[in-house]
Amino acid sequence: MTSRTELTRLPKRGSHDPAVIYPILDEGLVCHLSYQSNGQPFMLPMAYGRIGDTIYIHGSVGSHFFRELATGVDVCLAVTFIDGLVLARSAFGHSVNYRSVVVFGKTRLVTDEAERWEALERITEHLIPGRWADTRLPNASEMKRTMVLAIPIEEASAKIRTGPPNDEPEDMDLPYWAGVIPIRIQPQPAEPDPKLRTVFEVPAYVREFGMKNE
């Protein structure tokens, strides 16, 4: 841990423990990755996957963003869940229940073919477990047009807030409702592609998507 991940504001909500950090990363579907180029900050949302202490992302070899990251760039990556809106009796006391992770690392271009395949499988399975074995895998042309980057997790921290409002004692008798509005992402029934040429039964991994988080 350095000053990059030192938790100075409400440190009791934070953690540097991988046992806390990794489940949040593994539940997220999209990360926001930021870096700086010639004094200009950039940030993009993207899919990702984690293998051990490394996060993988992929994109087009024609992407200026990815070509720059392929040179080895210090990046900051964040994943956040909003679990509830916290309504206090005072406007100042309002808050949000959340789980968030911030990761620091340096990008590495993945050139080993076995690692590239493993990374692409992990990204796919991270988004939709069971899909990799139930789809046409990339051909040689598609693999040539795909860039895979690794981001070793050099430092990371998690921060979590749960529970009801923390009103001041003098505000407890105010005549205002207080509590939490829970929020969660809930998958909906799958919608088949209208161009399907065969009538398929919806795969079990699609029907059951998201149930592990209920």
- Counting Cβ atoms within 10 Å, is residue 48 exposed (0-12), middle (13-18) or buried (19+)? buried
Whether 1 maps to a domain, the answer reads no
On the question of pLDDT at 210 being above 80, the answer is no
Whether 166 maps to a domain, the answer reads yes
Cβ neighbours of residue 170 under 8 Å, at least 6 residues apart? none
Q: List the CATH number of the domain containing 74.
A: 2.30.110.10
User: Alpha-carbon distance 55 to 26, whole Å?
Assistant: 10
Contact predicate 101/25, CB 8 Å:
yes
What percent of the chain is predicted at pLDDT more than 90?
Answer: 80
User: Alpha-carbon distance 188 to 190, whole Å?
Assistant: 6
**pLDDT number for residue 128:** 95
Whether 214 maps to a domain, the answer reads no
Q: Worst-scoring range by mean pLDDT, 37-41, 142-146, 183-187, 209-213?
A: 209-213
Q: Worst-scoring range by mean pLDDT, 8-17, 58-67, 115-124, 180-189?
A: 8-17
Whether 27 maps to a domain, the answer reads yes
The predicted model scores a pTM of 0.90
Whether 124 maps to a domain, the answer reads yes
Averaged confidence pLDDT in the chain: 92
**pLDDT number for residue 8:** 59
Whether 87 maps to a domain, the answer reads yes
Task: Find the length of the chain.
Answer: 214
The range of the structural domain enclosing residue 79 comes to: 11-186
Q: Grade residue 136 by pLDDT with cuts at 50, 70 and 90.
A: very high
Whether 209 maps to a domain, the answer reads no
Contact predicate 152/51, CB 8 Å:
no
Q: C-alpha distances in angstroms, 72 versus 37, 50, 78, 181, 191? A: 12, 19, 19, 42, 40
Per the structure, the count of domains in the chain is 1
Q: Which of residues 66 and 209 earns the better pLDDT score? A: 66
User: Alpha-carbon distance 136 to 30, whole Å?
Assistant: 23
**pLDDT number for residue 150:** 98
- Counting Cβ atoms within 10 Å, is residue 142 exposed (0-12), middle (13-18) or buried (19+)? exposed
Whether 131 maps to a domain, the answer reads yes
**pLDDT number for residue 4:** 59
pLDDT digits (tens, 9 = 90+) for 44-75: 999 999 999 999 999 999 999 999 999 999 99
Count of CA atoms in the C-beta half-sphere (13 A) of 179: 5
